[in-house]
């Protein structure tokens, strides 16, 4: 349950993270986590587009594409491991949070 709380907190706080001047590596790592979550919930195409936009934004902040991909993969692999241990109930909660986050981002 602690893993789920950490993931959901990260998801909900992403916008704040980006606007608060978080390090590009942290944002790239979180983008990888979002991708793993999208795959878990069946919406990887939408997150792949978001990831491409995020990568371009990080390049403007001075992060190289290779650096971005390395941090993205680090976040992705860690989250895939975290998700592997989720119960069906935890998966449903995670996906509900992802859907809510996606709706919020479209506004």
d(CA 79, CA 63): 22
Sign of CA dihedral 14, 34, 84, 88: positive
Q: What distance separates the 2 farthest-apart alpha carbons in the chain? A: 40
CB 35 within 8 A of CB 76: yes
Predicted confidence (pLDDT) per residue in 38-65, tens digit: 788 876 666 677 777 777 788 788 888 8
Which residues of the chain are under the pLDDT cut of 70?
1-22, 43-47, 102-107
């Amino acid at each position: 349950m602690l893993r789920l709380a950490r993931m959901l907190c990260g998801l909900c706080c992403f916008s704040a993270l980006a606007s608060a001047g978080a390090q590009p590596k942290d944002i790239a790592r979180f983008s990888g986590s979002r991708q793993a979550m999208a795959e878990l919930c069946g919406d990887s195409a939408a997150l792949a587009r978001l990831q491409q936009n995020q990568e371009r934004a990080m390049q403007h902040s001075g992060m190289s594409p290779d650096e971005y991909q390395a941090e993205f993969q680090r976040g992705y692999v860690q989250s895939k491991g975290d998700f592997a241990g989720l119960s069906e109930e935890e998966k449903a909660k995670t996906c509900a949070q992802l859907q809510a986050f996606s709706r919020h981002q479209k506004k």
